[in-house]
Structure 1
Amino acid sequence: MAETGKQSSYKKLFSNTLVFAIGSFSSKVLVLLLVPIYTNYLTTAELGVTDVLTQIANWIIPLVTMTITEAIIRFGLDKAYDKVKVFTLGNLICFFGLAVFGILLPIVSLTGIADKYIGGYSLILYVYVFTSSMKSLYSTFVRAMEQVKLFAFNGILTTFFTLFWTALFYMVLPEGFLGHGTGIEKYLLATILSDLISVVFLTFKSKLWRYINFKDIDRELLQVMLQYSVPLIPAQLLWLITNSSDSFMTTHYLGSDYNGVLSAAYKIPNLVSTVYLMFGQAWNMSAITEDDSDDRDSFYENVFDFNQSLLYILVAGCLLIVQPVTNFWIGADFRDCVKYSPIIIYATIYSCFTTFMGSIYLASKQTKRSLFTSLVSGVINVGLNVILIPRIGLYGPPISTVAAYMTVFIIRAIDSRKLVPFRIDMKKMIVNNIVILVMMFICLFETDLMHHLPLYAIVTLLFFAVFILNRKAVESIFYKVLPARIASHFVSLSTAKLCAVIGGLAVFVLIDLLTRGIIVYALLLAGFVFAIYKNKNRLMYIFMVLMPLSLVFRHGMVWAAVAFLILAVAVIIKNRRPADVFIGIAALDILLGAAAGLWFGVLAAAVQTLVCGFIFRRQIWDKLIEWAYKKR
């Protein structure tokens, strides 16, 4: 029975991660795809101001909410506490904090203390904080009720409206419909309206008014929740200082234009954080529910081992693609950010490690321990920024961030394991860090690897080395969360076969370079025709991917997209399957983005994805569950 319990814990973690992945993909990755709109419709100074305003809001929200959302998830998941009382107190605390903020903000505006940062945006800043706080409270309570599917769908809904309002404000309505020079207001208003729709949707969908009862205030529970959440206020603020002091100090020392470039430099590293968030939200729930289990220590050990392997692969993958993606995705005025992105990408390893260790404090109700470690982070980050930014410019903030996160991880790794004594594989950590650091320094040394292919080949080989080093940990989790029949498909490829595949790809690239693509194009086309003739679907898809890849770097994205669309149409005519139709639609979106502008393709793909996801949501979910848990 104990083994069954273990398997159940891993499967629940996997299932929740899958649900959060669906929600987070839409709410985070698709929002990141709005970057081309922001970097093409806003100036560097405007993007820098919006970054500062959102950072200020992120600082204010923990104060006005007293970080009560952390108590909501902790006590809401605990079956010993009444959910009605927990949610009622959460609303009471939030409304009290927002009322106080509403009184103080006009005073601050009148005195002019924060004019350099807030300027004339105090009213819209208040509305932004209000809607963000309420959305956070309501979506967290839905998660505490373990309605993870609703939580994920709410993320999709919020994304759709963020895309809708952003596209409407910047690309459809006249530029001056809110007045001239209102690009910053449009940026904030799109988020405000999306958050407001999210709150209304969750309220009516879950009938949340049934969980509010102001007539019976449990003062004892109020005290317990505040004792848990209040120590997290300075802890969160200190983390925000670590995360956002870069923006403020860059603006102070170098100006808003430089801060706009720094903000763009964080966009690709945020992909790692976004993917980790899918796991992190599910992990927080598992850490709380498994806190009293008998196999807790081994559970933490296995999950952390998988966690670090996943992060190494993600970070190495981001370092591999950071330069081509920046050239394709980021507006021309912001492309200098590629000089700083590799350091920030590396910092995300320790940012996510630190978050993982922090979940131990939350699950064990030892939130005061978070305060000290967060204080260390803030001091290191601010101190190094003061020293480095005036001397080395925009390299200062990324280096400060790496130093802060790495130091705090070391402290938390020692301290948190006094509460949960699980083992960390230090040899694995050291080897992976060395390989990833080599990748990082190559990207820093040469910021145009696409014109220095031998160096790019080395970076590619190092990525595959990281993948091979960490594949066993990934496989071990697959066996725990999936039926053996399905898990075996993930691990059937031996290391020798994987190396052979890598070698084959290297030979392919070499032939492509030597023949300027002529022989390679002929071979790929012949292979595709053969695959269609023999009805070998997997082979078709392989050639569908290889042909555009061989075209994109030599002839550009438009030719690659045309080839992809032609091959996709051939497959649709041959198979006539819904899955192939979706691939054809994706090929068309890529062509639209390449020919008519990136934002046009992104918008078309986002709308199609959200509409299809909504229409087929039940079928998609049923298929995922069937795929994951079907047993013979």
Structure 2
Amino acid sequence: MSEKRIGSSYGKLMMNTIVFAIGSFSSKVLVLLLVPIYTKHLTQSELGRTDYLTQIANWIIPLATMTISEAIIRFGLDKAYDKKKVFTIGNVVCGAGMLIFAALLGLISLIGVADKWISGYAVLLFLYVFMSGIKTLYTTFVRAMEKVQLFAVAGIVATFFTLLFMVLFYLVLPKDFLGANTGIQKYLLSTILSDAITAVFVTIAAKLWKYMDFKYIDRELLQTMLQYSVPLIPAQLLWLITNSSDSFMTTYYIGEDRNGVLSAAYKIPNLVATVYMMFGQAWNMSAITENDSEDRDKFYEKVFDFNQSLLYILAAGCLLIVQPITMVWIDSKFRECVRYSPLLIYSTIFSCLTTFMGSIYLASKLTKRSLFTSLISGVINVGLNIVLIPTIGLYGPPLSTIASYMTVFIIRAIDSKKIVPFKMDIRKMIVSNVLVMMMTAVLVKEPDLMHHKLLYLVVLALFCAVFVINMESINSLFFRFMPKRIAEKVTNLGTKKLSLIAAGVVAFAGLNLLFKCVPLILVLAAGYAFGIKLDAPKIFLFCQVLCSALIWLLFSHIFGAGVLFIMCAAPIVMYRKKRYIAMAVASFDLLLGALILSDLGWFLFLIQLIALIIVYRKSIDEFALDYIEYGTLGPLDRITGMIPVRRRGGKTTSTISELPDSNEADSQ
């Protein structure tokens, strides 16, 4: 493979990763913002039931769709197959599966054999499965068309409407709107409506109807696609058993309330899986398109090294922040989950590495091997849960998950090297695992490090060690698409300087821990002043909101409000000559404040409004006089400059561009 070809492979992988990051990461992070809403409005029992209902749906989806979406991406990316035929077959298979599922669900509801699990939710369960299957099918085909930008936008659209419907159902609309009387129904209905809108959006944006032709179905291709996708049904089910047996068995052995706590414990570990998903989606496409390339083994080696280093750094970072984030983000009745989150964060490392190895099976069309390894994972997970949950309670599911994923990763790593013989840095893998395990052990032993500052500094030091060990692999891949000038600067720093920087971060974090974030507040205040002086809105806006929010949260609301008033009013006064910039600053402050804290957002709004009125009071007076003189059209015409505008002293101007600046007007 030529150097140009190699660069193209890495560049395409990274660009796809960035695009998926925009769609997936932003959407997933926004969805995580919903956690405070539904942990506040759902009881532990309701959250536990919501969790296992979604798990039931996730089990049904592979059966109802026959995992045809996996065949869509595999055969859709292969230039040897007609995309129209591939997509048509996908719709036919998915539609047939949904009809069978509807009939079976109706029969089960009549007999009542599953009333314990789905009583009162059968219709919503069907709609959830149907819309999720359709959305997945359509967005996957968009990926197969290599329209990754549209795929990313679809993710953002799905998130926006999920957020919108969640807020509407829980906070705005009447309790029984659309028949949603319980918090569980509102949760499911929000997802259903969001998936429906996303499917319609993708259909229109990609003109998917042009790829549907039900008059002629290629039976040979149908058989080939089913031979590929059907073995993935038990594989996905077994994989889901590994993921969701924790929920069902926790509910069975120790109750829905404890399962609600376990569900909350998964929220922060999902951050690691979310970030990996961005890379994993791009890698899945590259694994297929590069499967027949000459330099495939070297490509896999570099990408795997980058992948494992990224996972270790992400997991260590999440371990570093899991306790303070849980205290702020999770409602008080679920705070106990902080005891179990570290173990679940550690398990995501092997979960993601196992998924990476599974891409080799998919690219090579060896899906039966995926089935075998998934079977091993399911057996280990269920077996250990049966033993551990009655014995050690909620520590059982995380430990069984770690054991199952670690075992399957080892098996897949050995087996996949027979297909693609690429090298692995075993030494780095062992050292990184030991360091992350040490962090996990400290956090599990002491769930409140805020009162044990020395232990927190130990955790910080371990994180820095993980970062230093793995950063070279991250840099090596980034350098392939990073601008040359930036790459040279990073390279010139060297390992020693980067280690010193990491040590400085540890020291600074330690000072903030000891002195209640006062050093960070001082740095942000200095950055704010620096941004004002250099006329750099991005700098002072960032420092302004973060500094005042920290003071607001850590000290007193009154003190924070005072600091906020000064920091918000100063830019508006400074930009009084640039009215639109001042208004943009005000809007941006309001948005950031609302994201940080609702009370802070409203307070920001009042500050901005008062400051704008004070700065532009004379313009407002003149605007009101024009309105009185010219009637209802006066203000509009004044803005557009279509009629003369009376100014003080009898002077008139005909267009807005001729109006004096506010400073000039004030001086008059």
The normalised TM-score by structure 2 is: 0.84
Task: Tell me: CA distance 1:121–1:454, structure 2 relative to 1, closer, same or farther (3 Å).
Answer: same
Q: CA deviation at 1:202?
A: 1.5
Higher mean Cα deviation, 447-456 or 514-523? Answer: 514-523
Matches within 5 A, 1:438-517: 438-508=438-508
Matches within 5 A, 1:595-610: 596=598
Task: Tell me: CA distance 1:597–1:191, structure 2 relative to 1, closer, same or farther (3 Å).
Answer: farther
2:618 aligns with none
1:207 aligns with 207
What CA distance in whole angstroms lies between the structure 2 residues aligned with 1:401 and 1:213? 44
Q: Does the 8 A contact of 2:48 with 2:256 survive in 1?
A: yes
The AA in structure 1 aligned to 2:151 is F
Task: Tell me: CA distance 1:578–1:96, structure 2 relative to 1, closer, same or farther (3 Å).
Answer: farther
What CA distance in whole angstroms lies between the structure 2 residues aligned with 1:430 and 1:408? 17
Matches within 5 A, 1:5-20: 5-20=5-20
The AA in structure 2 aligned to 1:412 is R
1:619 aligns with none
Cα displacement string for residues 306-329 of structure 1 (whole angstroms, at most 9, x for unaligned residues): 001111111011001101111111
Cα displacement string for residues 457-486 of structure 1 (whole angstroms, at most 9, x for unaligned residues): 221121122111111111111111233224
Q: CA deviation at 1:123?
A: 1.2
Cα displacement string for residues 360-388 of structure 1 (whole angstroms, at most 9, x for unaligned residues): 00000000000110000000000000000
Matches within 5 A, 1:333-372: 333-372=333-372
Q: CA deviation at 1:515?
A: 6.8
Cα displacement string for residues 393-419 of structure 1 (whole angstroms, at most 9, x for unaligned residues): 111001010000000000000001110
1:615 aligns with none
Q: CA deviation at 1:446?
A: 1.0
Higher mean Cα deviation, 524-533 or 540-549? Answer: 540-549
Q: CA deviation at 1:176?
A: 3.0
The AA in structure 2 aligned to 1:415 is D
Task: Tell me: CA distance 1:72–1:538, structure 2 relative to 1, closer, same or farther (3 Å).
Answer: closer
Higher mean Cα deviation, 183-192 or 231-240? Answer: 183-192
Higher mean Cα deviation, 124-133 or 18-27? Answer: 18-27
Task: Tell me: CA distance 1:530–1:78, structure 2 relative to 1, closer, same or farther (3 Å).
Answer: closer
Q: Does the 8 A contact of 1:564 with 1:587 survive in 2?
A: no
Q: Does the 8 A contact of 1:593 with 1:600 survive in 2?
A: no
Task: Tell me: CA distance 1:458–1:229, structure 2 relative to 1, closer, same or farther (3 Å).
Answer: same
Q: Does the 8 A contact of 1:34 with 1:599 survive in 2?
A: no
What CA distance in whole angstroms lies between the structure 1 residues aligned with 2:232 and 2:389? 29
What CA distance in whole angstroms lies between the structure 1 residues aligned with 2:43 and 2:601? 17
- Structure 2: runs of 5+ lacking an equivalent: 604-668
What CA distance in whole angstroms lies between the structure 2 residues aligned with 1:415 and 1:147? 33
Q: CA deviation at 1:444?
A: 0.7
What CA distance in whole angstroms lies between the structure 2 residues aligned with 1:354 and 1:520? 39
Q: CA deviation at 1:106?
A: 1.3
2:612 aligns with none
What CA distance in whole angstroms lies between the structure 1 residues aligned with 2:276 and 2:557? 30
SS at match of 1:480: coil
What CA distance in whole angstroms lies between the structure 2 residues aligned with 1:21 and 1:472? 22
1:422 aligns with 422
Q: Does the 8 A contact of 2:545 with 2:593 survive in 1?
A: no
The AA in structure 1 aligned to 2:234 is P
1:627 aligns with none
Task: Tell me: CA distance 1:360–1:566, structure 2 relative to 1, closer, same or farther (3 Å).
Answer: farther
2:55 aligns with 55
The AA in structure 1 aligned to 2:184 is I
Q: Does the 8 A contact of 2:590 with 2:601 survive in 1?
A: no
The AA in structure 2 aligned to 1:209 is W
Q: CA deviation at 1:498?
A: 3.0
Higher mean Cα deviation, 277-286 or 568-577? Answer: 568-577
Task: Tell me: CA distance 1:72–1:394, structure 2 relative to 1, closer, same or farther (3 Å).
Answer: same
Q: Does the 8 A contact of 2:541 with 2:589 survive in 1?
A: no
Q: Does the 8 A contact of 1:544 with 1:564 survive in 2?
A: yes
Q: CA deviation at 1:592?
A: 3.9
1:229 aligns with 229
What CA distance in whole angstroms lies between the structure 2 residues aligned with 1:398 and 1:581? 50
1:185 aligns with 185
Task: Tell me: CA distance 1:549–1:403, structure 2 relative to 1, closer, same or farther (3 Å).
Answer: farther
Q: Does the 8 A contact of 1:27 with 1:155 survive in 2?
A: yes
The AA in structure 1 aligned to 2:423 is R
Matches within 5 A, 1:258-277: 258-277=258-277
What CA distance in whole angstroms lies between the structure 2 residues aligned with 1:505 and 1:229? 48
What CA distance in whole angstroms lies between the structure 2 residues aligned with 1:527 and 1:211? 54
Higher mean Cα deviation, 22-31 or 489-498? Answer: 489-498
Q: Does the 8 A contact of 1:73 with 1:140 survive in 2?
A: yes
Higher mean Cα deviation, 26-35 or 550-559? Answer: 550-559
Q: Does the 8 A contact of 2:385 with 2:396 survive in 1?
A: yes
1:133 aligns with 133
Matches within 5 A, 1:465-614: 465-508=465-508, 525=525, 529=529, 532-533=532-533, 547=547, 551=551, 554-555=554-555, 563=563, 567=567, 570=570, 588-589=590-591, 591-592=593-594, 596=598
Q: Does the 8 A contact of 2:180 with 2:186 survive in 1?
A: no
Matches within 5 A, 1:7-156: 7-156=7-156
1:284 aligns with 284
Q: CA deviation at 1:213?
A: 1.2
2:408 aligns with 408
Task: Tell me: CA distance 1:553–1:491, structure 2 relative to 1, closer, same or farther (3 Å).
Answer: farther
The AA in structure 2 aligned to 1:24 is S
1:610 aligns with none
- Structure 1: runs of 5+ lacking an equivalent: 602-632
1:432 aligns with 432
What CA distance in whole angstroms lies between the structure 2 residues aligned with 1:188 and 1:542? 36
What CA distance in whole angstroms lies between the structure 1 residues aligned with 2:580 and 2:277? 31
Task: Tell me: CA distance 1:111–1:475, structure 2 relative to 1, closer, same or farther (3 Å).
Answer: same
Q: Does the 8 A contact of 1:558 with 1:595 survive in 2?
A: no
Higher mean Cα deviation, 324-333 or 528-537? Answer: 528-537
Number of equivalences: 601
* Structure with higher RCO (Cα < 8 A, 6+ apart): 1
What CA distance in whole angstroms lies between the structure 2 residues aligned with 1:515 and 1:237? 50
Cα displacement string for residues 63-97 of structure 1 (whole angstroms, at most 9, x for unaligned residues): 01110000000000000001111111111111111
Task: Tell me: CA distance 1:583–1:18, structure 2 relative to 1, closer, same or farther (3 Å).
Answer: farther
Cα displacement string for residues 87-132 of structure 1 (whole angstroms, at most 9, x for unaligned residues): 1111111111111111111111122221111112111111111111
Paired-residue identity, %: 61
Task: Tell me: CA distance 1:218–1:527, structure 2 relative to 1, closer, same or farther (3 Å).
Answer: closer
What CA distance in whole angstroms lies between the structure 2 residues aligned with 1:432 and 1:14? 24
Q: Does the 8 A contact of 1:21 with 1:275 survive in 2?
A: yes
2:257 aligns with 257
2:621 aligns with none
Task: Tell me: CA distance 1:170–1:431, structure 2 relative to 1, closer, same or farther (3 Å).
Answer: same
Task: Tell me: CA distance 1:65–1:522, structure 2 relative to 1, closer, same or farther (3 Å).
Answer: closer
Cα displacement string for residues 331-356 of structure 1 (whole angstroms, at most 9, x for unaligned residues): 11111110100000000000000000
The AA in structure 1 aligned to 2:145 is M
SS at match of 2:423: coil
The AA in structure 2 aligned to 1:449 is L
Task: Tell me: CA distance 1:518–1:265, structure 2 relative to 1, closer, same or farther (3 Å).
Answer: closer
1:611 aligns with none
What CA distance in whole angstroms lies between the structure 1 residues aligned with 2:195 and 2:419? 37
Task: Tell me: CA distance 1:312–1:399, structure 2 relative to 1, closer, same or farther (3 Å).
Answer: same
What CA distance in whole angstroms lies between the structure 2 residues aligned with 1:539 and 1:63? 51
SS at match of 1:116: helix
Cα displacement string for residues 231-280 of structure 1 (whole angstroms, at most 9, x for unaligned residues): 00000000000000000001101111111111110000001111111101
Task: Tell me: CA distance 1:549–1:426, structure 2 relative to 1, closer, same or farther (3 Å).
Answer: farther
Task: Tell me: CA distance 1:401–1:581, structure 2 relative to 1, closer, same or farther (3 Å).
Answer: farther
Q: CA deviation at 1:582?
A: 8.0
Q: Does the 8 A contact of 2:593 with 2:601 survive in 1?
A: no
Task: Tell me: CA distance 1:542–1:433, structure 2 relative to 1, closer, same or farther (3 Å).
Answer: farther
Cα displacement string for residues 32-56 of structure 1 (whole angstroms, at most 9, x for unaligned residues): 1111111011111111111111100
Task: Tell me: CA distance 1:564–1:445, structure 2 relative to 1, closer, same or farther (3 Å).
Answer: farther
Q: Does the 8 A contact of 1:11 with 1:482 survive in 2?
A: no
